[in-house]
Copies of this chain bind each other. A is one copy, B any other.
Amino acid sequence: MNLKNADILSARQFNRGDIEAILKMAGKMEVFSSKKKWGDLLKGKLMASLFYEPSTRTRLSFETAMQRLGGNVISVVGAQFSSLSKGETLYDTGKTIENFADVMVIRHPKDGAAEELAAGANVPVINAGDGSSEHPTQALLDIYTMQKELGKLDGKTIVMVGDLKYGRTVHSLSCLLSHFDVQMIFVSPSELKMPGNNLRVLKEKNVSYKETTNLAEAMKWADVLYMTRIQQERFTDQKEYEKHKNAYILDRELVEKKCPKAIIMHPLPRIWEIQKDVDDVPGAAYFKQVRNGVTIRMALLAMVLGKNP
C-alpha cells in the first residue's frame, strides 16, 4: 500500500494489509515518540490543524507528532473559525488552505466534513473526528496499542464497554478489528447498544461477537477491556441508568478478581468509570494509548507526505 498523497477519512478505507503497513511504519517512529530522538523527516512540511471543535488532546497529539518529526504547524481552533467559514463551504476552505499547508488535519462536528474538505483540497486530508461518524486515527492507535501489549491480535477477545451507540471510537475500532481473527463482546445498557449497521458488517465478515449488559461476566473472557464513558443524559429511562451506573465502574479489586491479565484501555478523558487505583494494575494501558497516538500520527503524516525514515 502506498498512502502518498492519500486522504485518511475513514476506518473503512483500510484492509488488513493496509493496517499492518501502518503499524509497521509506527514501529519505525517509536524512537521519535519516545523522545529519544528529534526527527527531521518532515522538515520543510507545514501541517494545518483545523479544529472546528476544540478536542485538545487530539490536536496536541497531531501537533506533537508533526513537530517531533521536524515539521511546522499552523493552527485554528473553535470560535476562531467564525471568519474563515462565514458561509464558506468546506470545499472553498480546502481550496484556500491548500495554498498554505502540505497536509490538513480536520476535526468537525458534522458527519462527512473531512470528505467535503478533501474534495476541495489537493493536499492530503486527515480526519481527526467528524460528528458521530468516524475517528480513524483513534482506532488505529487503539489497534496499535493492543498489538504492542498483546504481541498479536489474532485469537484474542476484545470486550468493549459503555456507550456503544454514540461512541464513534468504538464504531471505528470494531471496523478495524473485523479484519483480524478476534472475538468481540459488547457490554452496554440496552439503550446504548452497538448500532445495527456496525453489527451487520461483523456478520458479513463472519466475525464472532456477543452482546450483553453484564460487565463482570464479560470481563472473564477479556484479553482487552476497552472502557468508555456512559453519560446519564443519554437515558430516557433513569431506572436503566441507575441499574448500570455502578455496574460499569472498574476498580482495582474487580480487575484483580475478574481479569488480572487483561489490557485495560480507554480513549480518555476518564471520569469515574475507571477508578484511580486501577492506574497501577499491570494491564492499565490508557495513558500508553496517548503516547501510541503520537506514534501512529507520526506514521500517518509521514506516509501521506511520502516520507520513509
Q: Which residues of A contact B (CB under 8 A)?
A: 35, 37-38, 43-44, 46, 48, 53-57, 60-61, 63-64, 67-68, 72, 74, 76-88, 91-92, 95-97, 99-102, 268-271, 276, 287, 290-291, 293-294
- What is the distance, in angstroms, from A229's C-beta to the closest C-beta of chain B? 9
Whether A60 contacts B269 by the Cβ 8 Å rule is no
* Residues on B with beta carbons closer than 8 Å to the beta carbon of A268: 88, 92, 96
A54 touching B82, Cβ below 8 Å: yes
What residues of chain B lie closer than 8 Å to A77, measured between beta carbons?
A: 80
B38 touches A54 (CB 8 A): no
Q: Are B101 and A64 interface neighbours, CB within 8 A? A: yes
Given the contacts A38-B44, A54-B81, A78-B80, A64 and B269 also touching, CB distance less than 8 Å: no
A27 to chain B, nearest CB (A): 17
The CA-CA distance from A270 to B84 in the complex, in Å, is 11
**A63-B74, A84-B269 as given contacts; A287 in contact with B96, CB under 8 Å:** yes
- Kindly report which residue of chain B lies nearest to residue A270, judged by CB atoms: B92
> Smallest distance from the beta carbon of A240 to chain B beta carbons, Å?
22
How far apart are A166's CB and chain B's nearest CB, in angstroms?
15
